[in-house]
Structure 1
């Protein structure tokens, strides 16, 4: 999969100012899920006001019970604290993992920064073991940079 070829369509979705920010975020999630065969769940979590927790925003995939995630809990909560990308090749090997589905085998979470502050993240679950590469990380950093421009 050449993720580079997905940059322009993502940019086009983000640049559609006729739609609300929420609708554009949902469209990005749906586009990524349908375009990358190993992206089985795609969602954005954002800091929930002044609370030390993340709140699920837009997503594409199976509904999840994990709409609020405390900082430090699970992969998403750890990224909220570390401010660093977190790639989990095999979720079974992680002690601090929140299972969203029995089908999830791996996960990648990339923080989203606005004016240097970590305000959220993009979270992707896969039903495959170890599908994520450095190319995924760079691509998702690009996605988050574009998303930050409309927040």
Structure 2
């Protein structure tokens, strides 16, 4: 039986602490001799997130960042942004102060990023969950540029 496998990801806490690198755990989606897709568990780093129940959808979503505005080519190693969508108490997640600070004058409360945000990295555009890799603070300038130019969290 496969174990949990960690990949390093960048964590943007909503309480204003500076971004840091954390372990993003993944588990196999099926067991057997062939390695298959792995399920990431960003919820381990998301405060106030609802518990996932069997048969229902995850209380978080993700989207892919494969280029920045103005780029003519995609990243060879794109990023995957995880964000919470369902809170434990039904209330909105708090505005992410770390991201608000990065956006500075471009901050727009109507489109504010909410809750803790986790950003991972992967190798294969077609298979993000089977080709995850470690991110590091060396990725931070690219992610900062993305956050500053994309004022809206996707829902």
Question: TM > 0.5 between the two?
Answer: no
Which of the pair has more CA radius of gyration?
2
Structure possessing the higher relative contact order (Cα contacts under 8 Å, 6 or more residues apart): 2
Provide the TM-score with structure 2 as the length reference: 0.28
Provide the TM-score with structure 1 as the length reference: 0.29
Counting helix residues as a fraction of each chain, which structure ranks higher?
1
